[in-house]
Each structure stands twice: as structure tokens, then as C-alpha cells.
Amino acid sequence: MNPVGPHGTWGQPLHGFLLVNKPVGPTSHDVVACVRRRCPGTRVGHLGTLDPAAHGLLPLALGLATRLAEYAHWHSKQYRAEWWLGRETDSGDLQGLVVAQAAAGSFVTAQAVRAALVEFQGEIEQVPPAASAVRVAGRHSYEWVRAGLPRPLPPRSVRIWRLEWLGWRPQPGAAWQRPPDAPAAPIHAGERLLVELDCSAGTYVRALAKDVGRRLGLGATVADLCRTRVGPFVLEQAHPLEELMYATPQQLAAWLQPLDDILPLHWRRVVLHPAALARVVQGGVFSSDEIVREPEGERVQQGEGNAGAGRGETPSLPAVQLEAEDGWLAVLDPEGRLRALARQVKPGVWHPEKVLTWEDEASPNGCGHRGS
């Protein structure tokens, strides 16, 4: 039987995270729409907006992965940005109007640049750019801007774990040079800084550039922005948008990352006794004694804490090893598919807070799979 449907789509459900290398120009919604056209009926979303003027990693969630998109906010993100010193725009990038410009010949020292970058590490308050996807009064902020009715946005807390100065250059197109070692070395208005940062979800690099530029007394705006990592996903794994536009659904399926990749790494992955798994997918609780193994580990030896050991049953992990951090476990089936996220409700007892149903509910016209 040919799995390709009447519109050139695959008649199998697709579930997982598809990593896209977005170019400058398309919106994040444009990329989502492109994948939806390749696989009609499949739910598709993204793990955080990437501005049209930015490029780099845009992870998409397909099928059941859309139910796990909220966990992307638990992870840090990494960006590499080129900042133009001596100029500030109303949007924080080159798409906006210039609102301030440093006088010719203005400069700061390399030591001042390093001190400013240190100051903006840790937990900070920032006001998102007006031209952003932040919702205010029921609409995206950029929609108010386009209507000529910009709304003030309140500051919010974000965290910058690392803000590193990688290089500088005197003008666009020039070769990047290492930051000068001499503390008093001048960095002039009009020159470019190359920085890399690890930050929390919700951080706006455009707002950070503006704030650092103001601290330096020169102003700054983003000339180029590339997202290189979202949690466990890195840009090197991503596929160019051009490839996705012509990919078959079979190719898309081969490129998907597993559902549990989005979960915190310290969450334990476990496989349950078949009877317990059948109960869990119906929303029932399970005990530590019903955990038979971890997917990448060996089955535990008999006598390590399972009452059923020695009676032909699969031994469980010892209870002492099941003190999962944050009180969460990821439940997989024997095939390695994520079936539930369970929270510990009391010692040795776990309740599924989110259950993923894998039964095929594909639409007639393609590879749609609703899941639950």
C-alpha cells in the first residue's frame, strides 16, 4: 500500500520536533505554514518566535509534540548577535527608525565594554521592544505599533547566564578581530561588537543591546541576530527552510527529534510493567515497584527491591533510585515512545499529569494525527 496520499502527503502520523534553520525574511508563522502545507492535518507549532530579521534555529513541534511545547520555556536559549555601536532605533534592529545617534568620534574603552556586559548578567529587568510579539490589551504589541497606537509594555525579569564579547570590527564586511586586551583600547561609535549569550526564554536581544548601549553612553542596535540553541536543540541539527519546502513527508519523519528530548535532562525516563502502563494511559497511578527499567539501562537484578522478583516477573528498580529530581518521571513504552509525564504524589506513588495517546487518528487527506 502506497503511504502517499492524494495530495502528495504521507498517510502516517508525524510526532516530534523538527529543527529548521530559518533565513532572514520569513516570519515564524510563515515557516509553520510551510510545514503544514507539506503535511495537511498535522498540528504544527513553534517553540518561540524568531523575528523576521533574525535567522537561525526555529524548532517546530509536530503532532503530539505540540502538547509539550510549554517545556521549551524551562530551557535556556543561545544567540549570537552583531551590535552596531553609536546608533539606537525604535525597534532595536535595523528595521526601525533611528532615534538616537552618537556624535562622530565618540568612543568607549574596551574595559568599559567588558564592565557593561558583566553588569547585564544574572537576573535583570528589561522592557520588550514595542515591535514584539508580547501580548498587550488582547493583541500583539507589534499590531498596536502598525496601527499607530503603540502601548507601553511593563518591564519583566529575565536571566542572562552568559554574555560574552567574541569580537569587533570597524565596519560591515570587515574581518572580525579579537577584542583588544588593553583596557584603554578605544571602541568607536559605528564599530560592531560580536556577542554571544545564554538567556532565559522571553529575553529580547534587541532590548539588551539597547540597554547596554545606553549604559555605554553610545547607544546600540542589533545589526544581525542568529539563534544557535534552544534547550537541547542546536543549529547544527537544523535543516534549511529550502529543504523543507521540497521535502517528502517521509523525509520530514526521518528528521524529527524524539518527544522526550524537550524534557529536562534530569527527569528520569522509565519503562513500566505492561499492566501498569495500561493503567497509566487511562490516568491511573502507579507505584515504584511497577517500574521495570530505564530505557538506556539494563534490567535490574532480582532481589533489588521488587516483590515479584523470583516469580518469573520483570524486576523493578530499587525504590531508593527513584527519588527523581523535581518529583517528575517520563514514562516510556517498550518501543521508547513517550506515554506520560508523572508527578510523585507521595513516596513511591506517581500520578500521570499528562498522557499522550498514540492511536492513529489520521485524517483522510494526509498525515494528520490528533492524539490527546
Q: Give the catalytic positions in this structure.
A: 51
Report residue 301 as a C-alpha cell: 537484578
Contact yes or no for 255/261 (Cβ under 8 A): no
List b or e across 249-273, with b for residues whose CB sees 16 or more CB atoms inside 10 angstroms: beebbebbbebbbbbeeebbbbbbb
Nearest to 225 by CA among 237, 212, 239, 207: 207
Length of the chain: 372
Per-residue DSSP letters for 88-150? EESSSBTTS-EEEEPPTT-EEEHHHHHHHHHHT-EEEEEPPPSSSS-EETTEEHHHHHHTT--
- What is the distance between the terminal CA atoms of the chain, rounded to a whole angstrom? 27
Nearest to 309 by CA among 334, 291, 294: 291
3-state class (DSSP) for residue 87: strand
Tell me the residue type at 223. A
